[in-house]
Structure 1
Amino acid sequence: MDTKMADHDGDRVRIILWYVPRTVSIAFIKCLSAIEGMEVWCEAFSYAGMARRQYLDTYGKDIPMEYKGNEEEAHKGAKLFERIVRSKIEPDRIVYGNLKERFEASTSKYVISKEMFIAFPDEKARRYLPSGCRHVFLIRNPYRVFSSYRRAIYEQLKSVGLRSGDPHDRESFDLRKDDPSIDPNTMFVGLHEVWKYIREKVDSNAIVINTDDLLTNPADVLSKFCHETGLPFSESLLQWDASPDVVKTWKAAGNDVIMSAKAFYQTAIHSSRFLPPRPDVPRETLSPDVRQLAEDAMTYFQEMDRFKI
């Protein structure tokens, strides 16, 4: 079903915001949190997808997709993922059936859910994709993405005791094989595959935003985004409250998982506006894992970039 909403008449708006890490997604949804009537979901389905992967790797079978009658399995899945995030995960918030039901039952005028491709990587999971949504994809130059992601994931793993932090360990860390949460090799190919699926099966007018454009010219990109989705645009979206308190209202897999991921979110949750992008880092100074991942991802990025607003 095509969910294009060409005529916005005050109806409720539902958005799935797809992203790869380091595409300014947290600052983006913090900005949108300022819209009256906005309800934000932060990676709720993504945590379900990551817990599903942990469960499969550990137990050799898929975690149940419904919570009722499968409470023990959901509890085991939550405990597995807690070791990475070092924060309490609520078992009923990592089960697809519960999440879909709660998302679709929301009475808020506007709802946006920020998700990685791992949230809905296959047909089994996609049966739980919320209906009636516009779909928006955040992309960014892969060299920027992976160089930033390597720093952030290493700091996150160090903060929970999974890496030592000494110079040799930091240098030997290989993003291609040492990330226990997701496989970085699949980030762009996974996002691209979901984008193709959404365009063909769900929302033929799916929106693509290159977040370097957003950082360079936020007024132009935000106004286009709001026009396309039916959200109200105003100049107030260009400057928002720096307090992180709004983050506490977001729907997530646990009450503290966002605040505990400081290596990823510390700057964004205290943001008050979009800052211009930093200059590119010379490619020859990047680590080998970052260069290879970026080179492998470039084709997928470039195809999607041709459709950006």
Structure 2
Amino acid sequence: MSTDSNPQKPFRVIMWCVPRSISTAITKCFSFIDNTKIWFEPYCLAFFQDYAMKYMGLTLPRSVTNFDADDYIARVKAAVKGTPLEHQLKPEMMDLSILLRDGVREQLNSLPEDRSIFLKDMAYGVTNFLDLLPSKESGFKHTFLIRDPERMFPSWRNLLMAQMKAHPLPGQKPIDESTFDLTTDPGFMMPGYTYKCQYDLWLHVKEHFDPEPVVIDIDELVSNPRELLPKYFAACGMPWDERLLSWDASPAIGGEWKTLYPMGSGGVTHQRALASSSFQPSRPKLQRSDMTPDAIKAIDETMDYYKKMAATRITLD
């Protein structure tokens, strides 16, 4: 997609998200910006590899200098043999160069200067690893995609149950919708249910990278893409083109993204987003009386983080 008759300086943008923020559809949209390489959740997927390895009694090194890919593949295959994970963890299909956050940082610090980069990730993927963000000299602009917790948690609860049913860990208790607790049942749940992770990262970026990082609310964006997307692009130094308001529905472009696992059809998590072709307004919020106690608990404990970031967001005015 041609965006301008005059060549534009390549951009480097990271969008830090919370779950269920329609960020994969945004990523697909941005895939159609000329000369742009997409990086998809390298830090988040490293987070889940850490979790999976620790669950199996294995430990990943912090540094790529201590990482032996062949040894890793052999240890993983031995650990999952005869378990439900045997058909899920396929290390031979992975881009092992970005298995570790250290490797992600190394590559992001040494990218070619003639190509634009858009990286979408979950903020909790760098919690406790802020020193492994790309360097300030790498030129990445850090941006934040926020979402009202009242919209996020009921949706995430449904996804977590679906994911845990589809990919059960050995010894996992049966998933019962009436008793499932999103705040405790997923073994990987972070303090602050990912909102604190995003808020802490935002504060870190303000202090060390950019005193006024770009913040945008996804529900406002999908309700007003024609007005808000150009503002986001301008704030990030990205070339805007109105043709980005709709895109090819084929999920095939996900296969071109730089990510730990091939995107394929997206499975239970990304399938709908990869088949998207435009932004659609969000569904109405659930009434609080229709929410489960665990979702209400998470909402009440995270609303302040959201509101503080929302006060700085891009607006229609």
* TM-score interval, smaller chain: 0.7 to 0.9
Over the aligned positions, Cα root-mean-square deviation in angstroms equals: 2.8
Instruction: Report if the CA contact (8 A) 1:74-1:92 is conserved.
Output: no
* 1:194 partner letter: L
What does the per-residue CA deviation read over 1:22-47, in whole Å, with 9 as the maximum and x for residues that have no partner? Answer: 11100011110010111111111211
Task: Normalising by structure 2, report the TM-score.
Answer: 0.84
Structure 2 residue 306 is matched with structure 1 residue 301: yes
Superposition pairs of residues 215-226 of structure 1, within 5 angstroms? 215-226=222-233
Paired residue for 2:108, among 103, 112, 124? Answer: 103
DSSP 3-state at the match of 1:208: strand
* Deviation (angstroms), 1:231: 0.9
Distance in 1 between residues matched to 2:159 and 2:241, nearest whole Å: 32
Structure 1 residues 274 and 203: alpha-carbon distance in aligned structure 2, compared to 1, 3 A threshold: same
In the other structure, the counterpart of 2:38 is: 40
Structure 1 residues 84 and 216: alpha-carbon distance in aligned structure 2, compared to 1, 3 A threshold: farther
Instruction: Report if the CA contact (8 A) 2:12-2:139 is conserved.
Output: yes
In the other structure, the counterpart of 1:160 is: 167
In the other structure, the counterpart of 2:134 is: 129
Distance in 2 between residues matched to 1:146 and 1:133, nearest whole Å: 29
The total of aligned residue pairs comes to 296
Paired residue for 1:27, among 25, 28, 37? Answer: 25
Instruction: Report if the CA contact (8 A) 2:8-2:239 is conserved.
Output: no
In the other structure, the counterpart of 2:14 is: 16
Instruction: Report if the CA contact (8 A) 2:265-2:274 is conserved.
Output: no
Distance in 1 between residues matched to 2:219 and 2:26, nearest whole Å: 12
Distance in 2 between residues matched to 1:136 and 1:242, nearest whole Å: 26
Instruction: Report if the CA contact (8 A) 1:16-1:114 is conserved.
Output: yes
Q: Which consecutive unaligned segments of at least 5 residues does structure 1 have?
A: 1-8
In the other structure, the counterpart of 2:126 is: 120
Paired residue for 2:65, among 68, 71, 80? Answer: 68
Paired residue for 1:195, among 202, 208, 227? Answer: 202
Task: Normalising by structure 1, report the TM-score.
Answer: 0.86
Name whichever of 18-27 and 150-159 sits farther off.
150-159
Distance in 2 between residues matched to 1:77 and 1:243, nearest whole Å: 37
Structure 1 residues 77 and 110: alpha-carbon distance in aligned structure 2, compared to 1, 3 A threshold: farther
Instruction: Report if the CA contact (8 A) 1:259-1:265 is conserved.
Output: no
* Deviation (angstroms), 1:220: 1.2
Q: Which consecutive unaligned segments of at least 5 residues does structure 2 have?
A: 1-6
| % same residue | 27
Superposition pairs of residues 247-286 of structure 1, within 5 angstroms? 247-255=254-262, 258-259=263-264, 261-286=266-291
Distance in 1 between residues matched to 2:272 and 2:256, nearest whole Å: 18
In the other structure, the counterpart of 1:86 is: 88
Instruction: Report if the CA contact (8 A) 1:51-1:78 is conserved.
Output: no
* 1:268 partner letter: A
DSSP 3-state at the match of 2:187: coil
